[in-house]
Structure 1
């Protein structure tokens, strides 16, 4: 903002004061217009980063929530996606892109497109999907990386298979009130090194239960360790696994308020009803 200084021997005239006021007002209006443009850009990019709705799948109820970062532009690197794959099974992904800017938002779009392309045509095995997407991102040389968990829900087989690429563990709960953190083996984030492998863990779904995916913005803060956050989510999901998925997703996201974080955060809830397709 412009500053004008006057000496005691040079008192400003009325015209000079008016010109100064006009200049300062113009600076303020320019700043407001710039901020409005930044907000509109952030809103548009955020809308493109996330699906408008999640598909409906027999035997599975789903819900997702997202909150933007608490400072700066409302553009975050957290994202999720869900879609029907080439063999009729259901794919769900959640991830966190390095960075919080327009470049990170654009990279989210590339990752989602790559996941859908691979899972829609060549393979639906979660580990193979992540491996091929990783090699594709490395070949594109974007200079960014992304953590990701990718799941395949197979209603006919009664199975949930998942693979992780450097992402936060999921949380599960069943009808008996048991709950825990899913500490399955995983690989490095996508886009770092070619030829990475991502082990797949298969979870038989013999009864009703819930599987909750999240990003680190939900469970980790400056002075709040991720282990503590995951334990809080596991306890919450265990107590309310049979709640409406929308309500459960909202309650899980509230854990972020305990962490003192300023990052964005995302949650995806999968409620399995125990029936085979």
Structure 2
């Protein structure tokens, strides 16, 4: 026989409707917070990138897959007063609004000091002292490179960051070997060694953050090896910088990265340069 609704049934339905509405509100709030976090992060990244007839810069950014993990990673590329190009990528400790604000300070500090610092090592040393003076509990890792588009010479300094990946037109590729120094913002008076490289026709350099190469199903070593292979194939195929940047960030998405991820690729697509 059909069952008649009782007062208890009505109360249960009212309660279920209330719980459903609360769950929907929480889901909408979480979605809006994630959208706000992504917009904040993207708003702090540069809109315009330097580009020359020989060298091309391409960037990609992917937000964290889960939760409100905003703030850690950045990239930057800009033309210096002497015509050289400054390139940086880095990662701030933490994933929250405080980390996003600190990231903005690091990026702004690097830009401001890049015009007066003698070389990338001095730039990182000055930026490190500046961040220490701010008294924050956070720190940042980064790579800063200075590219001379007239010669293809790259000067690089690294502060606690994962190394870059390189590739040449004949398909050779590998991980950059440099001494590096500690992260920025921990101890004052640190020196950062400078390493020099030369980017030749068809060559590419890939700067990235650990969110690109590390995930639940992949170690940093495995992730770097994957990027090394991608860079070698891209160089042989004479792919443009933006194509390689897209392939690298796609690989990060496929391994289910939990951190945000940033990629910066600089490629030499023009005629070879004289020594």
Structure 1 pair 34–259 and aligned structure 2 pair: CA distance change class (3 A): closer
Secondary structure at the aligned position of 1:254 is classed as helix
Deviation at 1:37, TM superposition (A): 3.8
Comparing 205-214 with 75-84, greater Cα deviation is found at: 205-214
Quote the residue 1:268 is aligned against: 264
Quote the residue 1:4 is aligned against: none
Of 63, 78, 88, which aligns to 1:83? 78
Of 166, 170, 176, which aligns to 1:172? 166
Secondary structure at the aligned position of 2:33 is classed as helix
* Residue 274 (structure 2) pairs with residue 243 (structure 1): no
Distance 1:23 1:178 in 2: 62
Deviation at 1:141, TM superposition (A): 1.1
Structure 1 pair 158–101 and aligned structure 2 pair: CA distance change class (3 A): same
Secondary structure at the aligned position of 1:12 is classed as helix
Q: Residue deviations 1:181-229, cap 9 Å, x none?
A: 1021100011111111111111133443111111111222345332222
Secondary structure at the aligned position of 1:105 is classed as helix
Q: TM-score, normalised by structure 1?
A: 0.87
Secondary structure at the aligned position of 1:266 is classed as strand
Contact 1:66 1:264 in 2 (8 A): yes
Structure 1 pair 31–131 and aligned structure 2 pair: CA distance change class (3 A): same
Of 139, 159, 164, which aligns to 1:145? 139
Distance 1:22 1:178 in 2: 62
Deviation at 1:123, TM superposition (A): 1.6
Structure 1 pair 255–44 and aligned structure 2 pair: CA distance change class (3 A): closer
Distance 1:132 1:48 in 2: 26
Quote the residue 1:73 is aligned against: 68
Structure 1 pair 30–254 and aligned structure 2 pair: CA distance change class (3 A): closer
* Residue 190 (structure 2) pairs with residue 192 (structure 1): no
Of 156, 161, 171, which aligns to 1:162? 156
Q: How many residues align?
A: 265
Secondary structure at the aligned position of 1:83 is classed as strand
Contact 1:86 1:119 in 2 (8 A): no
Structure 1 pair 223–86 and aligned structure 2 pair: CA distance change class (3 A): same
Comparing 26-35 with 138-147, greater Cα deviation is found at: 26-35
Secondary structure at the aligned position of 2:174 is classed as strand
